[in-house]
Structure 1
């Protein structure tokens, strides 16, 4: 893994996080992908403090959804669960690569080296565009049993983590795009907004045409 730059403060303030109750982790399978602009994607995600069989079932279900939708990473809010949990597998195939489960993750270092990469997102089906992110990160998290550990990530795993970590912060990938890049996908984003309005009968909770670039989103690198 690549060398990580000098420490910068982490991006998960436990003092600001509410704890999830056991009821917050209850779900009815099958879970489905939440698409932009559903407000669930912008909601605050609670810290997990209950490590039980239901959490294991949620993790298993999230992997099922991820593989079925041909994803390589998935955060809990993307399936309607506003808790601090993500799963990913850079190989994107069950039985291949390494399945990674991160609960209550935080970042304590990231590299100065920034990489531009064509990203997609399961909550934005069919939309791909360039996002710049640090090449490597050092993180802290808990595993499925609640044990704390530290982890170094670089390359594609680091990018997947940062994308999913953004979801846990209520940040979406277009928040990190330049205005020029956003303009290249504006029509597709507006189509998702209309799809939401047609499906729910409600006004879209956000409009890309009213967008103002978020400042210092999640604290990584340049915004």
Structure 2
């Protein structure tokens, strides 16, 4: 396994919609999990490591206890609850910046797992929020894109102020 470099915004690949996965991605997924844990994050999408494929990994429990990694290939969000929560989200591609993003508290998501098995599950709470964040990456959307113009300008300025020149 290898720790992969994580792209930083405004790299154009982070704004590019991804193609479906049609090949074996076992090694890439393993490398992405290692990279996510080392970062340390709770989710990482393939475009964040420069691979424009519909794949993400997540583990929302590992920081509080037992790791429970998920490898999510070609996901589809089939349903979102109308009940939303707005909370501070961080992104490994926009380090040091937290933005308040409204997200559905529950989603129903279908995907293929690392064994090639179809999965269909209702995710709630932080798992739902994390999955929506990573899913956005697959569509070329970063947290800045979810902000109203004035908040986006402030968040981008804060990011640029703390980035090395």
Structure 1 and Structure 2 fold alike (TM over 0.5): yes
CA distance in 2, matches of 1:67, 1:83: 20
CA distance in 1, matches of 2:15, 2:2: 22
- Residue 61 of structure 1 corresponds to 31
- Residue 187 of structure 1 corresponds to 157
Secondary structure of 2:160 counterpart: helix
1:84 equivalenced with 2:57 (yes/no): no
- Residue 135 of structure 1 corresponds to 105
TM-superposition CA deviations, 1:147-171 (whole Å, max 9, x none): 2121110100000000000000001
CA distance in 2, matches of 1:141, 1:74: 16
CA distance in 2, matches of 1:98, 1:155: 15
- Residue 12 of structure 2 corresponds to 39
Preserved CA contact (<8 Å) 1:71 1:92: no
1:125 equivalenced with 2:98 (yes/no): no
RMSD in angstroms over aligned alpha carbons? 2.1
Among candidates 98, 119, 122, match of residue 149 of structure 1: 119
What stretches of structure 1 move > 4 A for 4+ residues in a row?
A: none
Preserved CA contact (<8 Å) 1:34 1:79: yes
- Residue 11 of structure 1 corresponds to none
Q: Of the two, which has the highest radius of gyration?
A: 1
Size of the alignment, in residue pairs?
A: 165
Preserved CA contact (<8 Å) 1:67 1:93: no
Which residues of structure 2 form unaligned runs of 5+? none
Which residues of structure 1 form unaligned runs of 5+? 1-27, 199-223
Q: What is the TM-score normalised by the length of structure 2?
A: 0.91
- Between 71-80 and 179-188, report the one with greater CA deviation: 179-188
Q: What is the TM-score normalised by the length of structure 1?
A: 0.68
